[in-house]
Amino acid sequence: MKQSVFGLILFFFLMLPPVADLLESIMIFHMHMQMPLLIVAGFLMGKFFLLRFPAFLEKWNEDGIAGILLFVVINLYWMLPRTMDEALSVQMIEIFKFVSLPFLAGVPLRDSWMKLTTAVKNAVIILFSFLFVGLGLVYTLSPVELCNNYLLKEQVTLGWGFLTMAACFIVYLIYTLVVDPSKYE
């Protein structure tokens, strides 16, 4: 339960106008700091939902697939340049961001991850690696601004952010491929 409280505190902290302003003022902080932290907040708060609605989650998310799909869809949505722009200019969309990332991505991730088989987990990581490489290339190579609110230079930075994250995922995948844990554990 302590975790859920921390999650709630983090959630409120991120909602504070100066914090939100600072993080949204730089493109890469917006997408790679604020958004993941919102997911983390939801992930932590997820404990509460797990304890409170076990039957519901058991019924709808028995093997974790439904939850992880929801997680992926919400993430995909927020990785589009267009949606980031809208969050900055349309109040409703900004609210949707603060609701969807914690509660429709963070909470389902919490409920699903442990239920997934290793193969599905790795598939999710592979999916995100491809996605990040693709988006990284789009953001670094695009000759025009994809967002009205951010400069081209910031877009290139975000692109490199995607590429380096993808590199980390790939390192992890290679590690799981090469190292056989049963030799050690």
Partner 1 sequence: MGAKAEVVQPIPFKKNENKALGISLQDAMISRVYMIVAFTALLLGGFLGLFQGLNRAGLLELPHWLNYYQILTAHGVLLVVVLTAFFTIGYFYAALSYNLGGLLPQVRKMAWIGFAMKIIGFVFAVIPILMNEASVLYTFYPPMAASPYFYIGLTLIVLGVWMCAFGAFMNVAHWRKQNKGQNLPILSYFATAVFVLLFFGSIPVAIEVLTLIPWSFGWTETVNVMLSRTLFWAFGHTLVNIWYLTAVSAWYVIVPKIIGGRRFSDTITRVVVILLVVMNIPGGFHHQIIDPGISQPVKYLHVFMSLAIAFPSLMTAYAMFSVFERTARKKGGTGLLGWYKKLPWGDVRFLAPMIAMIAFIPGGAGGIAQTTNQLNQVAHNTLWIVGHFHLTVGTSVVLTFFGISYWLVPYISGRTLTPKINKLGVIQTLIWTAGMLFMSGAMHWVGLLGAPRRTSYTTYFDNATALSWNPYLMFLAVGGTLLIIGVVMQVYAVFYLMFRAPKGKTEFPIAEAEDKEMKTPYWTERWGTWIVVMLLLIAMGYVIPLVDFIGNAPPGSPPFKTW
Residues that bind partner 1 (CB under 8 A): 22, 25-26, 28-29, 32-33, 153, 156-157, 160-161, 164-165, 167-168, 171-172, 175-176, 179, 183-185
Q: Which is nearer to partner 1, 92 or 177 (CB)?
A: 177
Q: Which is nearer to partner 1, 11 or 139 (CB)?
A: 139
Q: Which is nearer to partner 1, 90 or 179 (CB)?
A: 179
- Smallest gap, in angstroms, from Cβ of residue 62 to partner 1? 26
- Asked if 159 contacts 139 with a C-beta cutoff of 8 angstroms, the reply is yes
Degrees, nearest 5: CA angle 84-89-92:
85
Residue 63 makes CB contacts below 8 A (sequence gap 6+) with 115, 116
- Smallest gap, in angstroms, from Cβ of residue 28 to partner 1? 6
CA distance 124 to 29: 23
- Smallest gap, in angstroms, from Cβ of residue 183 to partner 1? 6
| Per-residue CA distances from 20 to 23, 72, 84, 126, 131 (Å) | 5, 24, 13, 31, 26
Place of tokens 């990785």: 79
Q: Which is nearer to partner 1, 22 or 95 (CB)?
A: 22
- Smallest gap, in angstroms, from Cβ of residue 171 to partner 1? 6
- Smallest gap, in angstroms, from Cβ of residue 58 to partner 1? 26
Q: Which is nearer to partner 1, 28 or 70 (CB)?
A: 28
| Per-residue CA distances from 114 to 30, 69, 93, 109 (Å) | 28, 14, 31, 9
